Structure 1
Amino acid sequence: MRKIVYSLTASLDGFFEGPDREIDWHQVDDELHQHMNDLYRDVSAFLTGRITHELMAKAWPAVAADPDATATMADFAAIWCAKPKHVFSTTWQSTDWNTTIHREVDVEEIRRLQQEPGEYMSVGGPDLARTFRELDLVDEYRVYTYPVLIGRGRPLFAPVDARADLRLVDLRRFGNGVTLQHYAR
């Protein structure tokens, strides 16, 4: 059964974005980007909310066509564009980039998706991830902590009435000071 993995970035003080949705504090260098590419190469599907999908669909297809893009950026663009995507939205009517729209998170449908071939599915977007946490659907968490204090913004995890006991699988430090804490249920 395919696992569901939530990969997220955070400032040291626990925010994933600033108060105006800014993420300009992310310090993604070639080493970190290559690491992400290597992980996402094994993703069998991306599960996102509408906002996350719109941001990705706006950026990465253009990078794939940009001859001046770095090799790691072009590699990620190719990975993202090729993978199946499932977008959860009550308002979106149509999309492209090999994307299926779901109106709600249906646990039975998610379990069916988990039975399809592939290594794991990546859930992205804080609101969707919260729903997946509430429904006990997240198998692993990969938290990338950036060495910056941004002071305020949206917290890494919104409050939910669901406890998840985790075990540390891996801890890694990157040259730019970012750390990865990889946890599994």
Structure 2
Amino acid sequence: MRKIVLMMSVSLDGFIEGPNREIDWHRVDDELHQHFNDVLAEMGAFLSGRVTYQLMAGFWPTADADPNRTGPVVEFARIWRNMPKVVFSRTMQHAAWHTTIVRDVIADDILALKAQDGGDLALGGADLAAEFLRQGLVDEFRVYVHPVLIGRGKPLFPEAEAEALPDLRLIDSHRFGNGVVLLHYERAGASGQ
């Protein structure tokens, strides 16, 4: 069965974006970008909320057309365009680039998606992740901690009831040359699902 893998970058103080949706503090260099490409190219689909999808759709469809882009950026543009995408939105009416719009997170539907053949499912977006967590649907966490403090903004993990939080087991960590640290966890007991 495929896994749902939450992949998000956060500041050291736990924010995914600044108070005005800034993400310019991300320290993504070619090494880290190539790592993202290697991981994401093996996924079966991207799952995102409307805001994350629109942010991605505003840049990646043509990013490889700019001759000044680095190799990892060009490679990811192609990965993103060709990857099946599921965007969860109650307001979007149309989407392109192999995208399916789904109105609500329904556990049975997500379990059916996980049961399909293919690679794991990359989950992005704090609001969507909160709903997946509330329903116990996240199997792995790949949290990329950037060595910056931004003070305020949108937290990756909003306040949650303690019983809704899964026990986690560290399965890997990695320090990149730019100081970003990957913390890779799985739900306790999730191996071999």
The interval holding the TM-score normalised by the smaller chain is over 0.9
Moved over 6 A (4+): none
Question: Could you list the per-position Cα deviations for residues 98-124 of structure 1 after superposition, in whole angstroms to 9, with x for gaps in the alignment?
Answer: 111101011111111111111200111
Partner of 1:75: 75
Residue aligned with 1:87, SS: strand
Match of 2:190 in 1: none
Q: Partner residue of 1:173? A: 175
Local SS of the residue matching 1:46: strand
Whole-angstrom distance in 2 between the partners of 1:7 and 1:31 = 17
Q: Deviations over 1:66-102 (max 9, x none)?
A: 2332111010010011000001011111111111110
What percentage of residue pairs aligned between the two structures are identical? 56
> Which letter maps to 1:172?
H
In structure 2, list runs of 5 or more residues that go unmatched: 188-193
Aligned to 2:89: 89
Match of 1:133 in 2: 133
> Number of paired residues?
185
Q: Distance in 2 between matches of 1:114 and 1:156?
A: 23
Distance in 1 between the 2:155 and 2:94 partners?
Answer: 30
CA distance in 2, matches of 1:100, 1:65: 25
- Which amino acid is the alignment partner of residue 158 of structure 1? P
The secondary structure found in structure 1 opposite 2:20 is: coil
Q: CA RMSD in A?
A: 0.9
Question: What is the CA–CA distance in structure 2 between the aligned matches of 1:126 and 1:13, rounded to whole Å?
Answer: 15
TM-score normalised by structure 2 residue count: 0.93
**In structure 1, what is the equivalent of residue 191 of structure 2?**
none
Aligned to 1:16: 16
